[in-house]
Chains A and B, each alone.
Chain A
């Protein structure tokens, strides 16, 4: 069965410093993986997705993620955090029936 585990429930960074949000996946076949972000009182917005093409996936707002099969990881990174990046981030894997299976979420705080 497909599942994801987000390794940190909260991450706090200073503005201008790098962001790393960690996600490990479990899948019996080549997975489709996604990162979504939810800002307060907003819907879930797709940041990026991996569907077995290039292993380094670039998304919106300067985010990117690298699919590493050997480590079963799909960590989300950004070189320099901005205050507007403060939100909750979800790592997601598509399940057998095309349902989306979410991690528990990581709340990112950006300090000025």
Chain B
């Protein structure tokens, strides 16, 4: 069974540009989460999809971030326009259910560098 995959693995862009990150969850997992780790800080929750609906987006830092999950399969996270403080590693995770007993499986992350 394939794990959670993320694309690209690295992205280097200039301030003001747009970047789109993609996450493919484990097949059959309705729950998809985005997290990020900025330099020197903890990994922080961004948002949670159940199928194509946003269940919780309380961690999204501002309106420059837009997450979508059309069709309830893969998800994209777009940053527009990117700022220097957006640099970090963006992780995606998926789980079969959202009860506490269900494990969230994480992808390898996308390292975003904004110059």
B106 touches A105 (CB 8 A): no
A97 contact from B58, B99, B108, B109, Cβ within 8 A: B58
A51 touches B101 (CB 8 A): yes
A98 touches B43 (CB 8 A): no
- Minimum CB–CB distance for A106 against chain B, Å: 12
- Asked if B65 is an interface residue, CB under 8 A from chain A, the answer is no
B100 touches A99 (CB 8 A): no
- Asked if B21 is an interface residue, CB under 8 A from chain A, the answer is no
**Which of the candidate stretches A18-26, A42-50, A72-80 sits at the interface with the other chain?**
A42-50
A43 touches B56 (CB 8 A): no
B3 touches A102 (CB 8 A): no
**Which residues of chain A have C-beta atoms less than 8 A from B4's C-beta?**
43
B100 contact from A32, A42, A44, A103, Cβ within 8 A: A32
Complex Cα–Cα for A46 and B26 (A): 15
- Asked if A90 is an interface residue, CB under 8 A from chain B, the answer is yes
B48 contact from A99, A104, A105, Cβ within 8 A: A99
A98 touches B98 (CB 8 A): yes
A104 touches B56 (CB 8 A): no
- Minimum CB–CB distance for A10 against chain B, Å: 14
- Chain A positions within 8 Å of B, measured between CB atoms, are 32, 34, 36, 41-46, 49, 51, 90, 94-95, 97-105
Apart from A43-B3, A97-B56, list 13 A-B contacts with CB within 8 A.
Answer: A43-B4, A43-B91, A45-B106, A49-B103, A51-B100, A51-B101, A95-B45, A97-B58, A98-B100, A99-B45, A99-B48, A103-B42, A105-B43
